[in-house]
Amino acid sequence: MSIASKRRETEVFSLAFLDCICCGFGAVILVFVLTVAQKMNVDKSDVDQLREETKARAKEIEFSQGDLDRLAKILAATQIELDDANAKNAQDQNKLSARQRELLLMLQQTGAMKDALSTLLGEKKNLPTEDLAPIPIPNIDRRQYLTGVQLNGEFIVFVIRASGSMLDDTIDAAMSRLDDSDGKKREAPKWQRTVRALQWMIASLGPSTRFQILFFNDEVTPILPNRADEWFSTRDKKGMVEILKQLDDIVPKGGANLEKAFTAIRFLSRLPDSIVLFTDGLPTRSDSLPSEGEIGQDERIRYFKLATKQLPPRIPVSTILFPMSGDPAGPALFWELANATRGALVSPAKSWPDL
């Protein structure tokens, strides 16, 4: 077969194939066009709808932003209040810490004080006990009522007149009591006042002061004759009990020999630093100038001067004078004695020592 015949066969079938291809392609284009147009319509409506929804959401967002702004303001105010509260809480906490430190310090100090107190109480138990003198003092705050009386020095002697004149304030009244029983004589108001005054003076002594007591009438008697050479202390409870008991047993009687009393002071175990004389007037007896019968004022003055010559030198003599009526020279002479010895003269009120 020739080449020209072959080409003619191919051209016969080529036209029909192209027609088919073109028809199919056109159908596809038509379907595509129809589909895309409808799709564009559908997408446009969706877009419009979405735009409307977007606008609605935008309005909601605007409203929400306003709420957020209000909430932000409230939150800011709340934050300020919270900061203030935190600052105040911090201050309170600091104050509380300071109070806690102070309380802790006080507790520590209290504990230390308790320990110190326990130590002191323990030491106190080990200390020797010291009994107080059994002499009651009325109105103890006024024990120095007799401010002029010299109670200075380590050793003091009390010289107490225990004659019949110490039974009352007048000679006649004292004479009328001489026939009373010893019990009534001891209970005589003037004598009881003298005893209480002596107790007062003893209780006023310092703990380091030593004392002795001499009673004089016609004779001189130490308060405790078996301890005449001793000096007593208010801290000696046993000795004080004996002295108080003996004071209750003294009976005023007889005359008053002051010369013998002052002489007895010279023979004590040692000379005193002060002398305190309890009397109601001038003496009525003298060893240097014995006398019988009635004794007048002139004799009593001489007895007094003789007595003062027996005093040891440079010792203050203080006199507690319970004056007896009918003895005008007594206060003046005892005043001279106080000036000469640098002592004192006190004539207390009748209410003393019961003040």
CA distance 222 to 145: 27
Q: Which residues contact 333 (CB under 8 A, 6 or more apart)?
A: 282, 301, 304
Q: What is the pTM of this model?
A: 0.61
pLDDT bucket at 86, cuts 50 / 70 / 90 = confident
Per-residue pLDDT of 291-332, as tens digits, reads 777 888 999 999 999 999 999 999 999 999 998 887 888 899
Lowest mean pLDDT among 126-130, 247-251, 253-257, 288-292: 126-130
**Exposure b/e, 235-272, CB count within 10 A at least 16 = b:** ebeebbebbbebbeebbbebbbbbbbbbbbbeebeeeb
Choose among 256, 268, 262: nearest CA to 306: 262
> What are the backbone dihedrals phi and psi of residue 304, each rounded to the nearest 5 degrees, phi first?
-65, -45
Q: In what order do the strands lie in the sheet with 317-321?
A: 220-222, 210-216, 155-161, 274-279, 317-321, 345-346
Kind and range of the H or E run holding 115: helix 3-126
Task: Look at residue 323 in the predicted model and tell me its pLDDT.
Answer: 87
User: Looking at the predicted structure, is the pLDDT value of residue 93 above 90?
Assistant: no
Integer Cα distance of 278 and 280 in angstroms:
7
Which residues are within 8 A (CB) of 207 and not within 5 positions of it... i.e. 6 or more apart? 233, 234, 235
